[in-house]
Amino acid sequence: MKPISSLKKEAKSLKKKDSIQLSQAQNIIAIKYGYKSWKDLVSLSAKNCFESRKDYITGSKRVLVSLGLDFAEFVPTDTVIDKATFDATHPVRALFKSEKFHDYSAQSKGQDSKIIKNALFLNHDESISDTFDFDNDSNLDIRLYRPNTKDGDPRMWFSGFTKYAKEWDRIAVIIINNHPVLINLSWNDLHEDHSIILSQLKLLIKLFKTDDSCVSEELLAKLKVLAKNGLLKATTSGSTAIGMTIEHALGLPPNSSKKPDYKGIEIKSGRGGSNRTTLFAQVADWKQSKLTSSKAILEQFGYQREEDFKLYCSLSCLKFNSQGLRFEYRENEDALVEIQDEFGDVAVWPAELLKRRLLEKHKETFWIRAESVMKDDVEYFKLISVIHTKNPLSNQLLPLLQDGVITMDHLIKKRGSDGKVSEKGPLFKMDKKNLGLLFPDPVTYSLL
């Protein structure tokens, strides 16, 4: 099929030729190419284009995260291109605010309050040098405003945008030196050898970003000593045994605090066979939720297992689980909502709550892999390796939840013996192989 831009020209020619409305001409063109309507043609074309380049785009996102660059993604529709204005979506607004670039909530409505700033669209035709200056060398500007109409919904527009992108492209926006930097993810593979865009990004980082390294050699050295000394005898049993055993060996007292374990470094431990790892535990905001406790969720959706009444299940944004539960991200509320296919809304996690929890827990983390060894019915642990991460990019958390990369486990149980209800979660988890989508440049160390 022809590009959307060519089909739009064809529809405009038909409109002029037959003296009909543009919407009528577009639908005629859509039917001509086997679609029910122009809307179906545009949406399916965009979806097919994204699916064909999904791995390519994900790879570029990994590169951005590895460079320590938090970013937001937006998609210009054909309507947006025609009207020359974008809605500033929640991800974009959250990035602007967290990077202290712009806060729409503090901006008044109307043209008199419009803000114009320099911006840069990285591309293959316009190189930057080691004397680059945003004030003098930027190739477009961004206009930030809130109209008097439509409740002042935040808007943005980049002058010269259509020179570098077209409708339905995936655009990443990054803030560097208090200026927006745009990259067209649909047509620039940052993973590609000798990528011009990647080289330009690295130059910008060298010119404007500083490294806030955190001392971790002390903890790494202690873990290497523990590994060299041989097997660690488990101090307890169950899923928490490995973590408690390592912390005991490091001389850390047992505690239930949500703060990091070792001088500001969080220690996460897992047996070698498990790929999913827990990012953090976080209950819903019960004040905003329809069901106001874990106990209420258990009573509504739990099931009997031998003597206990349980709700042990995983939730994803992609599909309903066997209990009819899944997540839904609501951009207008900037919240993750647990829903049930018949019951409706269940519980609410505001995006800011989840981001705050991530940053609180994982400013710097050691993800330790160990092997379980049984001797005379006693468990021991052999330390294998450590993945070291720091400074998670919190604005990637909700997109990763939307994509199903991060999921959540309910672990609620009412004991049959005494009726006591306990909740080990909710545990937000991801596969360790995907840590590079959330944490810049994870480094792996062998302990053997």
Mind listing the pLDDT tens digit for each residue in 93-119? 999 998 999 999 999 999 889 999 999
Task: Please determine, for residue 212, whether its predicted confidence score (pLDDT) is greater than 80.
Answer: no
pLDDT of residue 45: 65
Q: How confident is the model at residue 122 (pLDDT cuts 50, 70, 90)?
A: very high
pLDDT value of residue 304: 92
Q: So what's the pLDDT on residue 80?
A: 73
- How confident is the prediction for the chain on average, in pLDDT? 87
pLDDT value of residue 135: 87
Fold of 217-446: Alpha-Beta Plaits (3.30.70)
> Given this model, what pLDDT does residue 111 score?
87
| Cα maximum dimension of the chain | 88
How confident is the model at residue 182, as a pLDDT?
A: 95
User: Strand 378-390 relative to strand 232-233: parallel, antiparallel, unpaired?
Assistant: antiparallel
pLDDT score of 259 = 65
Q: CB within 8 A of 81, min separation 6: which ones?
A: 162, 166, 167
Q: Using the CB atoms, write b or e for 403-435: b if 16+ within 10 Å.
A: eebbbbbbbbbbeeeeeebebbbbbbbbebebb
The pLDDT of residue 269 is above 60: yes
Q: Does residue 144 have a pLDDT over 90?
A: yes
Confidence of residue 313 (pLDDT cuts 50, 70, 90): very high
Q: Which of 30-39, 68-77, 162-171 shows the lowest mean pLDDT across its residues?
A: 30-39
Which carries the bigger pLDDT value, residue 387 or residue 213?
A: 387
CB count in 10 Å sphere of residue 58: 15
Q: Which residues pair with 262 in a beta bridge?
A: 265
**What pLDDT is stored for residue 184 in this prediction?**
92
pLDDT bracket for residue 319 (50, 70, 90): very high
Say yes or no to pLDDT of 290 above 60. yes
Cβ atoms of 26 and 82 closer than 8 Å: no
The confidence band for 258, taking pLDDT boundaries of 50, 70 and 90, is: low
pTM: 0.70
pLDDT at 300: 96
Is pLDDT above 70 for 50? no
164, pLDDT greater than 70: yes
Highest mean pLDDT: which of 160-164, 231-235, 406-410, 434-438? 406-410
Work out the average pLDDT over 255-272.
75
Q: How confident is the model at residue 358 (pLDDT cuts 50, 70, 90)?
A: very high
Q: Rounded CA gap, 404 and 421, in Å?
A: 29
Predicted local confidence at residue 95, as pLDDT: 93
Q: How many CA atoms lie within 13 A of 228 on its CB side?
A: 6
Q: Give yes or no for residue 368 having a pLDDT over 60.
A: yes
- Identify the pLDDT of residue 22: 87
What does the alpha-carbon distance between residue 269 and residue 242 come to, in Å, rounded to a whole number?
6
Helix axes 38-52, 54-66, angle to 10 degrees: 60
Which residue's structure tokens are 């639908």?
A: 27
The pLDDT, as a whole number, for residue 303 is 94
pLDDT of residue 79: 72
Q: Which comes out higher in pLDDT, residue 34 or 268?
A: 268
Residue 119's pLDDT is 95
Q: Which two tokens stand for residue 233?
A: 């005898």
Share of the chain above pLDDT 70, in %: 92
If you average pLDDT over each of 34-48, 260-274, 348-362, which comes out highest? 348-362
Query: pLDDT class for 210, splitting at 50, 70, 90?
Result: low
Bigger pLDDT: 78 vs 147: 147
Least confident among 173-182, 233-242, 360-369 = 233-242
pLDDT at residue 314 in the model = 96
Q: What is the mean pLDDT of residues 61-89?
A: 84
CA-wise closest residue to 355 among 406, 407, 393, 404: 393
User: Which of 146-160, 161-175, 212-226, 347-361 has the weakest average pLDDT?
Assistant: 212-226
Mean pLDDT for 184-190 is 86
